[in-house]
């Protein structure tokens, strides 16, 4: 077995890397949300100024049998690396996963990183080998969230009449950017990450613009924001991604600013976003920490059900 770096300029190699990752992850996780090939193509072919990415592959007899990605944050959290390792079912328990991990750790160390983090998600009905593997390479759990799914349409969630919803697709228009940036940065401060010690990224206009531009190449980006009718102040937003061509969406941030809490704006914003989706989008994924009681209740009331448990784990190098 050989561990190689993917040549990101080779389209067939990119296709094989993505295909093996997809098949390996799906083998144990029927509800997994994976990166679409189109979104992977954007990551692999247009480098980000904030994250350096490398893709590794384990090759046996000329065939790729396992993969790992390595992400090195460049702007904040420069002591951390991120990875995910995946091995095809027919090639497991033979040391492929461990060899990929060793290659990841070597590269992370060489880049001056002190710890490697990753997400290990397991199905609730039939947990696969992910957590045993993580423990075997010395990973410790720092945080966990539930992965939930809802079939559309969801239950109704009326909007408090003191507010109106401003919906958009794609880039945030100039007149709303300052308010949107304030909410995005509040979200980054509020979101719980358990015992994970991470610096919070601060979004400014330029960083928001570059992230919008990259995301729009892979996703239909939908934002619903609540604006108080009396003074025009924005009280919250909800962000949803639909991969191009997919029949599912993926619920990202939902934030209600502190002085606007208690009006059930979170549920109303999500419901508006889902109601505006094309008919062929049938399913929404989301993640919530079980300790975030307010959001967990909001989600289950809308019809979300827990299908997987996602652990954020970390290895100290
Ligand atoms: C987890 C995964 C990458 C392991 O790949 P692998 O090639 O089978 O791993 P290895 O053979 O190198 O195993 C290394 C150690 O992990 C542990 N391990 C792996 N699979 C295990 C299982 N099914 N049960 C118990 N322990 C297991 C063992 O300690 C093993 O060492 P050993 O075989 O000497 O006992 C593979 O099962 C997979 O792709 N799963 C789906 C994706 C995933 O969960 N990735 C982990 C998140 S990053």
In the reported structure, the alpha carbon of residue 85 is separated from the centroid of ligand 1 by a whole-number distance in angstroms of 9
pLDDT above 90 (res 134)? yes
Q: How far apart are CA 25 and CA 33, in angstroms?
A: 9
Whether the CB-CB separation of 281 and 152 falls below 8 Å is answered with: yes
Please tell me whether residues 119 and 204 are part of one structural domain: no
Q: Could you say which of 87, 116, 138 is where a domain stops?
A: 138
Please tell me whether residues 51 and 171 are part of one structural domain: no
pLDDT in tens, 40-58: 999 999 999 999 999 999 9
β 248-256/115-123 pair status: unpaired
Is pLDDT larger for residue 25 or for residue 295? 25
pLDDT in tens, 183-228: 999 988 887 777 888 988 899 999 999 999 999 999 999 999 999 9
In the reported structure, the alpha carbon of residue 162 is separated from the centroid of ligand 1 by a whole-number distance in angstroms of 53
**Does a structural domain hold residue 109?**
yes
Question: Which residue range(s) make up the domain with 301?
Answer: 151-309
What b/e sequence results for 1-28 when a residue is b if at least 16 CB atoms lie within 10 Å of its CB, and e otherwise? eebeebebeeeebbebbbebbbebbebb
Q: Could you say which of 96, 117, 138 is where a domain stops?
A: 138
**Does a structural domain hold residue 317?**
no
User: Over the chain, what is the mean pLDDT?
Assistant: 96
Return the pLDDT at 190: 81
Q: How far apart are CA 209 and CA 283, in angstroms?
A: 28
Secondary-structure breakdown of the chain: helix, strand, coil percentages, each rounded to the nearest 5 = 35, 35, 30
Residue nearest to atom 5 of ligand 1 (CA): 97
Residue nearest to atom 24 of ligand 1 (CA): 129
Is pLDDT larger for residue 200 or for residue 138? 138
**Does a structural domain hold residue 96?**
yes
Question: How many domains, in total, are found in the chain?
Answer: 2
Return the pLDDT at 196: 84
Q: How far apart are CA 283 and CA 31, in angstroms?
A: 11
CA 192 to chain centre: 15
In the reported structure, the alpha carbon of residue 95 is separated from the centroid of ligand 1 by a whole-number distance in angstroms of 8
β 115-123/80-87 pair status: parallel
Please tell me whether residues 209 and 260 are part of one structural domain: yes
Please tell me whether residues 37 and 167 are part of one structural domain: no
In the reported structure, the alpha carbon of residue 265 is separated from the centroid of ligand 1 by a whole-number distance in angstroms of 42
φ, ψ of residue 133 in degrees (nearest 5): -65, -45
At 112, is the secondary structure helix, strand, or coil? coil
pLDDT in tens, 96-131: 999 999 999 999 999 999 999 999 999 999 999 999
Please tell me whether residues 164 and 288 are part of one structural domain: yes
pLDDT above 80 (res 39)? yes
Return the pLDDT at 87: 98
> What is the percent of the chain where pLDDT is above 70?
100
**Does a structural domain hold residue 209?**
yes
In the reported structure, the alpha carbon of residue 172 is separated from the centroid of ligand 1 by a whole-number distance in angstroms of 43
Q: How far apart are CA 238 and CA 167, in angstroms?
A: 10
pLDDT above 80 (res 300)? yes
Please tell me whether residues 132 and 166 are part of one structural domain: no
Return the pLDDT at 80: 98
What's the average model confidence in pLDDT over 270-291?
96
Nearest atom in ligand 1 to the alpha carbon of residue 24 is 39
pLDDT in tens, 145-195: 999 999 999 998 999 999 999 999 999 999 999 999 999 999 888 877 778
Q: How far apart are CA 124 and CA 131, in angstroms?
A: 13
The residues lining ligand 1, judged by C-beta closer than 6 Å to any ligand atom, are: 24-25, 28, 84-87, 92-98, 118, 120, 128-130, 132-133, 136
CATH of the domain at 290: 3.40.630.30
> What are the angstrom distances between the C-alpha of 139 and each of 129, 231, 288?
14, 49, 22
Return the pLDDT at 183: 95
């Amino acid at each position: 077995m050989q561990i190689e770096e993917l040549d990101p300029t080779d389209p067939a190699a990119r296709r094989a890397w993505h295909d093996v990752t997809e098949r390996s992850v799906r083998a144990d996780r029927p509800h997994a949300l994976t990166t679409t090939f189109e979104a992977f193509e954007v990551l692999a072919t247009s480098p980000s100024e904030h994250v350096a990415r490398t893709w590794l592959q384990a090759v046996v007899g000329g065939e790729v049998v396992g993969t790992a990605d390595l992400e090195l944050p460049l702007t904040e959290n420069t002591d951390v690396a991120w990875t995910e390792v995946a091995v095809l079912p027919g090639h497991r328990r033979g040391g492929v996963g461990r060899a990929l991990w060793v290659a990841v750790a070597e590269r992370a160390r060489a880049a001056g990183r002190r710890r490697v983090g990753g997400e290990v998600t397991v199905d609730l009905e039939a947990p696969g080998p992910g957590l045993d593997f993580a423990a075997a390479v010395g990973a410790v759990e720092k945080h966990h969230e539930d992965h939930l799914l809802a079939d559309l349409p969801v239950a109704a969630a009326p909007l408090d009449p003191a507010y109106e919803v401003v919906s958009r697709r794609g880039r945030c228009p100039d007149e709303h950017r300052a308010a949107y940036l304030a909410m995005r940065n509040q979200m980054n401060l509020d979101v719980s990450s358990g015992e994970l010690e991470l610096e919070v990224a601060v979004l400014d206009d330029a960083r928001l613009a570059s992230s919008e531009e990259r995301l729009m190449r892979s996703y239909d980006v939908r934002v619903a924001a609540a604006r108080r009718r009396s003074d025009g102040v924005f009280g919250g937003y909800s962000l949803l991604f639909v991969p191009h061509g997919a029949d599912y969406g993926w619920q990202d941030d939902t934030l209600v600013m502190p002085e606007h809490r208690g009006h059930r704006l979170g549920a109303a914003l999500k419901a508006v976003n889902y109601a505006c989706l094309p008919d062929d989008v049938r399913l929404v994924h989301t993640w919530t920490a079980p300790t975030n009681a307010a959001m967990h209740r909001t989600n289950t009331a809308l019809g979300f059900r827990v299908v997987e448990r996602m652990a954020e784990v970390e290895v100290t190098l």
